[in-house]
Chain A
Amino acid sequence: MKALTVVEGLVAPMDRSNVDTDMIIPKQFLKSIKRSGFGPNLFDELRYLDEGQPGMDNASRPLNPDFPLNQERYKGASILLNRANFGCGSSREHAPWALEDYGFRVVIASSFADIFYNNCFKNGILPIVVDATQIDQWFSEMAAQPGFSLTVDLPNQVIRDAQDNTVPFEVDAFRKHCLLNGLDDIALTLQDADAIRQYEDKRAQVHPWVFGQIK
């Protein structure tokens, strides 16, 4: 996993609530058995005017000119600004994979769906909850000034704008630690292998039917 410390970048808007995982990456792209290469199909149905299929040459597809990511001013954005309940729907990790592959490292919303929120951290993306009034303000500022950028400082847990105004944010200490260091949680959990075995031994005494049923 890529480590994330400070992200200073252009912000792109996704100005609607309840952006679901089907919208982030339509299901026809879930057939891949790989983790990478989903970026060109991020927001596929909104981004292109035709119906996307795996294996298509995305460069020759008709683009929807109204969709922000297709506009010159948002090219190269690494921060995505959203409204409420971002990432609702399925548990597919293809959604953060697509965001990451496209180049987003930070997603900001007034609320997130739980599974999506969790999946972001596992894929080097920082999801940040910011209150709706602040988000509103950023949407207006973004509309007024092309090139609107923010600096997301994970070590200090603040978002800074060009005028040096800061907005603090919350993040779990453990998740922060993993993200800052690009740590794989499996290796960390396996450090507790003895505790897991001890748990299993005790559990097998009280709930023996949980073990050995599926062969």
Chain B
Amino acid sequence: MFRQPQVSTKMAQTLYDKLWDAHVVSQREDGTALIYIDRQLLHEVTSPQAFEGLRLAGRKPWRLDTNIATPDHNVPTTVIERRSGIDGIADETSRIQVKTLDDNCSHFGVREFDMGSESQGIVHVMGPEQGATLPGMTIVCGDSHTSTHGAMGALAFGIGTSEVEHVLATQCLIQRKMKNMRIRVDGQVRNGVTAKDIVLYIIGKIGTAGGTGCAIEFAGTAIEALSMEGRMTVCNMAIEAGARAGMVAVDQTTIDYFKGRPFAPTGELWDQAVAYWETLVSDADAHFDHELVLDAEDIEPQVTWGTSPEMVLGVSAQVPNPEQADDPVKKAGIERALEYMGLKADQKISDIQLDRVFIGSCTNSRIEDLRAAAAVAKGQQVASSLKQALVVPGSGLVKKQAEAEGLDKIFTEAGFEWREPGCSMCLAMNADKLGQGEHCASTSNRNFEGRQGFGGRTHLVSPAMAAAAAIAGHFVNIAEQEVAQ
């Protein structure tokens, strides 16, 4: 039953096939396999019941050196609340959850960057930044945006709490192999078009269920041209296209990114690792079950207008008219979304007036995202019609780096609030949230009803677009703006 890892096979393989094969512990007759997990990231929301389960069953973690934890969803982002540590968390249930993570980590001996640590951050920002998640690994976390880590040529996917417990107890998961899908984006993107726009455009094309049952490999020259951070933004939203895992092949950009990271291998181990990582690309004649090729030049800066990430359009477009929908289910969907969003059919996207702007989340809170937003905000002022414009760095280290570059000054001088790291307004589990009916330009990944606060209206955009929208008070065609400059 046992199958050797690293079987040499003559069949051409996709990146996903290679990653899968290297982690099969045993193949079962019913088509499922026991898969070995190299790294588990833990946070306060989806881990308490898993640790409780271990305790109740009298089990211990299988291996400790594979887990790493940090609180992110509930942590407050104001300096004042953060100053007094956990006791400073005003909301009692949030405080208990964060405290429970600390207690569980110390009880079981799991390494944690707690709220007071400079390395604390959103799990998906912290992992790669620390070199805790590396190419070639299988990476899981009780959070669907774990797909982010596929950007480095890893097999990374979100799991539920029962599976978190399963990985803690056995270091394995029972999985069925997914289908292979490749999305190539070829050519050069236009001015003002970022990784976020690429992925929103893809979701607009294939829909939120377009990747269901698949592992998506993002490829093509426009993807290769992205930095690691841009690739993480793209893979982060693979789940929004219905795929549990998104990935990008390893290249020099990947290897350069990991060199010298705290948990990355060093010396001889580094050389050995690089030699393996370089094999993590799809073979030239590998077979994909689905393949889609897009032209980068067709992509405009994107803005979502509805309540699902697939309800997205270029900034120069108009909100759709339900009368033009081709089937009744679609028509009803558009009508419902327009009603929730408080928008009129055929209204210009650039006429949508904003109440708040949020720059942050595991999609877009890395240093590069903050640099892009700051470049737009520099020397400008947030529109007086806005109630709030928030910038929330993804981790303590991102915050430190941004401050070293003076980005915090640029933001605060322009009228943005500069916060402590965490998930913040991405999902409104802490005090950062939208009021009923408020429109928000957000760099996060989900525009579902109520996601950023009860009755809140989210428009997903890139960091540059969010900053430009904060200044104008509405969406603007940043592609044209840049040309004008």
Residues in chain A within 8 A of chain B (CB atoms): 16-18, 20, 22-23, 26-28, 30-35, 45, 51, 54-55, 83-85, 88-93, 96, 111, 113-115, 118-119, 122-123, 172-174, 185-186, 189-190, 192-193, 195-196, 198-200, 202-203, 206-215
Contacts and interface: CB of A to CB of B under 8 A. Distances in A.
A210 B5 CA distance: 14
Given A20-B448, A89-B448, A206 B6 contact: yes
A27 B67 CA distance: 25
B392 to A, nearest CB: 17
Given A91-B158, A209-B272, A195 B213 contact: no
Given A206-B6, A214-B67, A214-B132, A192 B449 contact: no
Contacts of A213: 65, 132, 263-265
Interface string B35-67: 010100000011011001000010100101111
Given A88-B208, A90-B144, A186-B169, A207 B450 contact: no
19 contacts: A17-B329, A22-B450, A22-B451, A89-B144, A90-B158, A91-B158, A115-B159, A172-B176, A192-B25, A192-B172, A195-B2, A198-B2, A200-B36, A202-B4, A207-B276, A209-B265, A209-B269, A214-B64, A215-B111
A170 B223 CA distance: 38
B45 A190 contact: no
A148 to B, nearest CB: 21
Contacts of B46: 91-93
B39 to A, nearest CB: 8
Interface in B414-464: 427-429, 446, 448-451, 454
Given A27-B429, A30-B45, A185 B52 contact: no
A200 B2 CA distance: 12
B368 interface: no
Contacts of B22: 207
A196 B45 contact: no
Contacts of B68: 214
Which of B32, B263, B454 counts the most chain A CB atoms within 10 A? B454
Contacts of A214: 64-68, 111, 132, 263
A44 to B, nearest CB: 9
Interface in B304-358: 308, 329, 333, 336
A211 B73 CA distance: 28
B162 interface: yes
Contact of A33 (B97, B209, B336): B97
10 nearest interchain CB pairs? Answer: A209-B265, A31-B93, A33-B48, A122-B162, A93-B160, A91-B158, A119-B160, A93-B161, A91-B144, A51-B454
